[in-house]
Each structure stands twice: as structure tokens, then as C-alpha cells.
Amino acid sequence: MTSGQENIELEFCDMKFNTPLVLLSGCVGFGEEYTRIKGFSNRDVGAICLKGTTLDERLGNAPHRLAETYMGMLNSIGLQNPGAKVVVDDYLPKLDFEETRFIANISGSTVEEYEDVARIFDDSAIDAMEINISCPNVKEGGVTFGNDPDMSARVVEACRRATDKPLITKLSPNQTDIAENARRCLEAGSDAFAVINTLMGMSVNIETRQPVIGNNQGGLSGPAIKPVALLKVHQVYQECKAHGIPIIGQGGIVNAEDALEFIIAGASAVGIGTALFYEPLICKEINAGISNYLRRHKIDNVAELVGCLQLHDTNSG
């Protein structure tokens, strides 16, 4: 363990995280791809979220699937994956569970599919499951699970029936009241939250007069969404703090200052995603920055910072 890293260890849903950093789903494949990068160590991160996984194999959306935007990135991969059983049988055995925690990201087009996928991962070495409730429910005409608190709760309940492993519900920002959705998911059995998933966006090629993304729209990530993500973390934290429910804050984090903002707003851990595409070893830099901040402010452990945001009194004057 490097000097100073001991003060950024934490407990998250009874899992020991080496650092507050979580590599986000979709950015590091199924875990083993990222270990090929020279200089990367699994010990630099608290957990790695595997790519979104469905019950059966999916080929994903038509290209283009990625588009760079100002201070961000649009993506519409379409959950390309080999299916849950293949991930459990062929991918998980290649991962070193001694170095860091691994979290499955589970998706489905029906409530039943979510439950089936959760049951498959329950019978595996995976440490926890992240529920991607941003998928459209085909039985309800394509209404997205994550934008309807009733549907969100139904998915969490189904996954809870299938496993005793920690469940982390990934909340969508594309809804009216994210705090209410969090409350319903808590009641349904969620152990933690990932806040936020991507915002929906579009990019247009003015020469062809068509969307750049083959699926017409995609999820926007990167620094452009950071202010939105910070507010959503703060709002969800208001529902979580009395219950001791932890949050993975995510959305545009590219340096230690960003990470600290999310922790102060209420996140116990922070997710790193789009930043990995231009600086694969950015986690070392962020860890060092967090440790330096704690030393400068004479704070013993990063957990002491969680939710310490001091709001202005907006009722005075």
C-alpha cells in the first residue's frame, strides 16, 4: 500500500474498498481488459463495475456508438454483452478478487429478466450487483424503468428476491423526482445507490443533417454533466443519510477536486468513467489528491468528509 492510501480506505456495504474510486460500468469492459494497461493496479481502486449484462447475448446498437461533445461524450452501445452465464463461467474466473471488489451491472427488458440475471450472479464470486434501471420495459411499451418510481421499486424487489448480495441501484437523472425514486427503492430493498446515470442527449452532423449517433440519441457523460450530478447526489443523500445508505457519486469527475466535491455533497465513493478514455492512469492522481487534502485539513479518514456540506441559509434577508 502506498503512503497516504490508508486514509482513503472505506467500508461500502460491508465491502472493504482500497480507495473511494469505482471504475464505472461500460468503461472497463469485464475487468480483465483494463489490467493490461501498463502501470495500472487494481489496488488503486475500491471496486470495478463490469459491463452491463443481460440474460442473453446482445450485439448492441448500430454505429456510430460514440460521439465526442464539448466537455463530454455521447454513447449508445446498446448493452453489447455475451450474456450472464458466459460472464459468470468465462470472465469472472479470470479476475483477482483479492486485489479489489467486482460489481456486476445487471440489466433487463422485463422485471423477470432482471430477477433471472440477479439469480445467476448470486451463484458466483461477484461481490455486489449494480441494477441498471435505465432500460426500457418492453411489456410496458418501452417506458424506462428508472423514470417511474413504481417500476424502479418492482425491479429492486425482484432482484432482492434473487440475492442476498449488496444491491446498488443506479438512478437516472432523467426523471421528475430522483429523491422520491430513491425512497421507493430503499423500501424495496436497495442497499446503496449509484448517482447518476447518463443524461440523454443528441449530436447532429450538419452536412448529412442526421444524428451522429446511430441510435439517434445517447447518454451524455463527462465534465458537462458534473453540476447536475452533484445536485442529484445531494438530493439523494437527504433520503439516505438517516438510514446509513451509501452512495457512489458519479458524473464528470476528472480530478481530486471533483471527487472531493461529490464526497462533501454526500457520496461515500466516487465513480470514474469518461476520464479513463483520455487518461487511463488518472486514479493514482486522484487518490494522491484526496490524501493530500485530508492531510492538509487534518482529517483522519475520508469517511469523515461524507455529507459535510454546509448549505447557505436561503431564508435570511
Longest dimension (CA), the chain: 63
Q: How far is CA 100 from the centre of its chain?
A: 16
Residue listed under C-alpha cell 425514486: 181
Distance (Å, whole) CA 291 – CA 300: 10
Residue 170: closest CA among 183, 180, 182, 160: 182
Residue 113 has phi, psi (to 5 degrees) of -65, -40
Residue listed under C-alpha cell 429492486: 156
**C-alpha cell recorded at residue 34:** 483494463
Q: Tell me which of 13, 135, 185, 240 is the catalytic residue.
A: 135
For 35, the 3-state DSSP assignment is helix
Active site residue 135: yes
Distance (Å, whole) CA 241 – CA 66: 36
Active-site amino acid positions:
135
